[in-house]
Amino acid sequence: MTVRWGIAGPGRIAEAVAGDFGHVPGAELVAVGSRSAARAADFAGRHDIARAHGSYRALLDDPEVDVVYIATPHPQHHALALAAIEAGKGLLIEKAFTATVAGAQEIVAASRERGVFVMEAMWTRFQPALRQMRAWLDAGVLGDVRAVEADLGVVRTFDPADRLFAPELGGGALLDLGVYVVSFAQWVLGTPERVVAHGRLGQTGVEEDASVLLTYPDGVTALLTTSLHSPMPGSARVFGTEGWIDVLPRFHHPTEVVLHRHGAPPEHVLALPDGGGYSHELAEVTACVEAGAIESAIMPLADTLVVQQILADAGQQLGVEWREDPTAL
């Protein structure tokens, strides 16, 4: 079986993802859709894609497409996803999954009601190096996990026209970068009891710096930092009673993890991704769709909903509120 893919939104992230389809047996990128017919045609020409659609609706109506990868700005995910589910298309939705918790809940409910596959495109969980970290954690080599630390920052010159600084496009550090540190902590520790956020709003009202503390039972914590103006290393650590794991920068697509056991020399594991690293999430979706599954066991929808709630709680404390775009189609 060949799973036929379409891309909605031929932007920067879609460029990177499109290049990895050649590393995924059983997956074929056959269509792209954009609000601009010219952009769709240009993208299709550069990536040898058979069909270019000048609207998202035309892409969703394409009978030769089985799965749609949604790579539009965050507030547009909700409307596109619901329309895709209604059309019976499986979905890989770029992170952050939606702009709001309610939007995410609607998509999950529609997926389950219609029996249509949906997954958040958190490529981090599928990186070979982090699969090794997960194996160590599942084997209990750290003893009791007590804390997580993660940071992810970039340096962006302020530009009110840039998506990252535009409130109506879901701008700010949390949905673009904070989603990585929050998802990492949630993957390791689960659902927190409390979310505490502190940060700084910029000229357009989006959060440009944010630190988030997640608290769990028995004093377990996650300390997470993100920024649009600080060149942070992008590192992550998991601490336990028997040692710790370093995820070397940049942690959201690492090639090396290091296990430090108490009283033993460090154990370095190098694990390179296939292609640009997006191939692994594409392979997961392709395999799940072939098997008739409606969600991934590695990136389940319940985890996505927890992450969305944490982001919403942090945003509310910082004084920002995101909205879905009902006009996305």
Active site amino acids: 95
How far is it, in rounded angstroms, from Cα 55 to Cα 42?
14
Residue 166 near residue 202, CB atoms below 8 Å: no
Tell me which residue of 71, 76, 78 sits closest to 29, measured CA to CA: 71
Query: How many whole angstroms from its chain centre is CA 34?
Result: 21
Q: In sequence order, which residues have a C-beta less than 8 Å from that of residue 257 and are 6 or more positions away?
A: 129, 130, 132, 133, 245, 246, 247, 248, 268, 269, 271
Tokens of 251: 């942690």
Query: How many whole angstroms from its chain centre is CA 103?
Result: 16
How far is it, in rounded angstroms, from Cα 322 to Cα 325?
10
How far is it, in rounded angstroms, from Cα 125 to Cα 115?
24
Residue 273 near residue 172, CB atoms below 8 Å: no
Tell me which residue of 94, 312, 325 sits closest to 207, measured CA to CA: 312
Burial level of 23, CB count in 10 A (0-12/13-18/19+)?
Answer: middle
How far is it, in rounded angstroms, from Cα 134 to Cα 70?
27
Residue 283 near residue 27, CB atoms below 8 Å: yes
**Angle between helix 101-114 and helix 301-318 axes, rounded to 10 deg:** 170
3-state secondary structure of 288: helix
